[in-house]
Homo-oligomer: A and B are copies of this chain.
Amino acid sequence: MLGAMQDWNMRVTHVIDHAAREAPDREIVTRWADGSETRTDWAGIRRDALKMAQALQKLGIKPGDKVASIAMNHSRHLVSWYGVAGMGGVLHTVNPRLFEDQLEYIVNHADDRVVLYDAMFQPIVDKMRDRWPQVEHYICFDSGEQTTAFEDWIGAEDGDFEWVQGDERDPCMICYTSGTTGNPKGVQYEHRSTLMHAMAGLQPSAFNFSAASVMLPVVPMFHAASWGLPYAGAMAGIKFVFSAVNDPAVLHEMMIKEGVTDSAGVPTVWLAHFQYCDKEGIDLPPLRAATIGGSAAPKFMIERLMKNGTRVQHAWGMTETSPIGTVGGPTHDWDHLSFDEKVAKTMKQGRPIFGVELRTVDLDDFTKVLPRDGEASGALQIRGPWIIKRYFKADEDAVTEDGWFNTGDVGILHPDGTLQLTDRTKDVIKSGGEWISSVELENAAVGHPAVAEAACVGMPHPKWDERPVLFVVKKEGTECDADSVVAFLSDKVAKWWLPDAVEFVDDIPHTATGKISKKDLRARFSDYRLED
C-alpha cells in the first residue's frame, strides 16, 4: 500500500460527477408512458440526484439501506440510480413482471424501506402494500395521485449535498435473478465492480461508446442494471434516449427523431421492431450498432440487421455477471470475412472482455477442465472482478473452491476465445450417456415455416434415460404435423438427436424476463412418458 499514486475510491459517484462536469449539456431525453416528452442533461441528472440523496436522508434512510424501484426506463429512474448510490444506499431494481409471490419475497428479503414506482404499476403497489410490512415510503415517479410525486419530493431540496463516502466494495445496487428454481436470489453490485464493469463496457469491442453515441436502451433498467449502460454511457458522456413504453412504433419514432446510433435489447425486442417495420412497409432505423443479449440472437435477425448496416454485438451474460461476460465485437480478421462468415461468427456469443475469464468443465465431472478446441461442450464457468461471489444473505459462497462461478450454461470455447452457448445445464438432454442440446433442436425447429415457437425438453425414457420431445406452437393460419417437423430437422442435426415426439401446444410458458420456462413446461407435462 504505497500511495505513490493518488487515493481514489472506486465509487459510482465519480461517474455522474464526470458526466456532469465533462458533458453537462449532453441530453437525456424521455418519452413517458402518457406520450409526453421531457429533456434534461447530465448536469440536470446530477443536480436531481443530489436532491434525491438529500431527500432520502430526510426520510431517515442510512448508508446500506435498500430502496426499491418498480419502473420502466426514464430519466427519473436514472436519477435514482445515482441518487441512491450517492447517499450510500442500495437501489433494488424490481422486475414488475414478476409474480406476486416473487414480488413479496424479494422486497421483503431485500429489506426495502422505500419503493419508487411508475404510475402504471400502481396496481402492483396496491396489491402488494400489505404484504410488504417493512416498506415505509412510497414515491411515484409520475405525478402521483395517491402518493408523493418524485418531482415534488426532490423539488423540496436545494441539492447542496456532498456524496456520502464509503468503502469501494460497498454495494450500490441489488438485482434478483428470475430464478428458474427455488426463490429468487439477490445479486449485489458493488461500487468497485460496477465501475470496472462500466469502464470495460466502453471499449470498442463492447459498447464502443464515445461522445458521439446516442443510445436508446430497450433493455429494462431492472434487467441486470440495464447491462451497465447507464454507467458506461455517463463515463463517455453519451446522449441517452429513454422510452417508458416498449411499443415498437414509439421506439422507432424516437430512434429516427433523436438520431439514435445505438440500441440494446433481448431478441424479442428486435423481433417486434422487425414486425412493426414490415407492417408499416418502412426501413429499419439506421442504427450503427445493436447489442443483443439475454437469449441467443437468431440467424435471420443478425442477417437482417447486418444488411441494414448495423453492427450486431451479440452479448452473453447473466444477472450474476453484472452482466457482461462476452461480446461479439469484430475479430481481427473481420474485414476479410464473407457476409456468411460474419453471420456465422456473430451467431456465437462473442469473446470475453478484459476482466472476464471463462472455462468449460465436463458435464459429468466438474473437476475436469475441457480444452478450448471449438468442439468440447461443457458446463460454463466464469471468474472476474464483476462476477458474483456470494448471493445476498447467503450462508456460503456461490463459487467453487478455486473461485469459479457455475453459470448453469453449457457451451463450447473456441481457440480464439469465442464462446458458443449450446444449452443450459438443466435443459441439456442425456440420452444413453451422450448429451443432446435442447437449444440447438429448438433453433433448428423455428426455421420450419409453420413453427412459431418451439421448446425441447428431455423426457424420461425406459431405455435411453432421456429422449428429446419437441413442443411446438404453430404459426397462425398454418398447418403441419410431427412428421413434417422431424423431416425438416433431419438434415440439420445428428440422426440420434431427432426428437422422439413432437407435441403441438397452444402456448409455451415464459419467465418474467421473457425466456421459455422449461421448469413450467416440465411441470405441465409431469406425467408425460415415452415408450421404448
Contacts and interface: CB of A to CB of B under 8 A. Distances in A.
A6 B203 contact: no
A79 interface: no
A9 to B, nearest CB: 9
Interface string A3-41: 111111010001101100111101000000000000000
Contact of A417 (B22, B354, B384): B22
A431 interface: no
Contact of A23 (B1, B17, B417): B417
A107 interface: no
Nearest to A334: B212
A2 interface: yes
B205 A4 contact: no
B6 A385 contact: yes
Interface in A369-394: 383-390, 392
A4 B354 contact: no
A348 interface: no
Given A2-B169, A199-B196, A335-B212, A385 B190 contact: no
Interface in A210-256: 210-212, 235-237, 239
A193 interface: yes
A6 B383 contact: yes
Nearest to A352: B22
A331 interface: yes
A180 to B, nearest CB: 21
A514 interface: no
A159 interface: no
A208 interface: yes
B199 A204 contact: no
A170 interface: yes
Copies assembled: 2
Contacts of A212: 330-332, 334-335
Contacts of A2: 167, 169-171, 188, 190
B384 A8 contact: yes
B199 A209 contact: no
A-side interface size class = 35 or more
Contacts of A210: 203-205, 329-330
A354 B15 contact: yes
Contact of A4 (B26, B355, B390): B390
A335 B259 CA distance: 13
A338 to B, nearest CB: 17
Contacts of A352: 22
Most B Cβ at <10 Å: residue of A4, A22, A357, A383: A4
A332 B236 CA distance: 10
Interface string A313-356: 00000000010000001111011000000000000000110110
Contacts of A154: none
Contact of A204 (B3, B236, B387, B390): B236
B330 A3 contact: no
25 contacts: A1-B169, A2-B167, A2-B169, A4-B169, A4-B171, A4-B189, A5-B169, A5-B189, A5-B322, A6-B384, A6-B403, A7-B389, A8-B384, A15-B354, A22-B351, A26-B332, A196-B199, A199-B203, A203-B204, A204-B210, A204-B236, A205-B210, A211-B351, A212-B331, A235-B354
Query: Can you list the 4 inter-chain pairs with the closest CB atoms, starting with the nearest?
Result: A8-B385, A4-B188, A204-B210, A22-B417
Given A5-B169, A6-B383, 13 more contacts: A1-B169, A4-B188, A5-B192, A5-B193, A6-B387, A22-B352, A22-B416, A23-B417, A24-B415, A199-B199, A203-B203, A212-B331, A212-B334
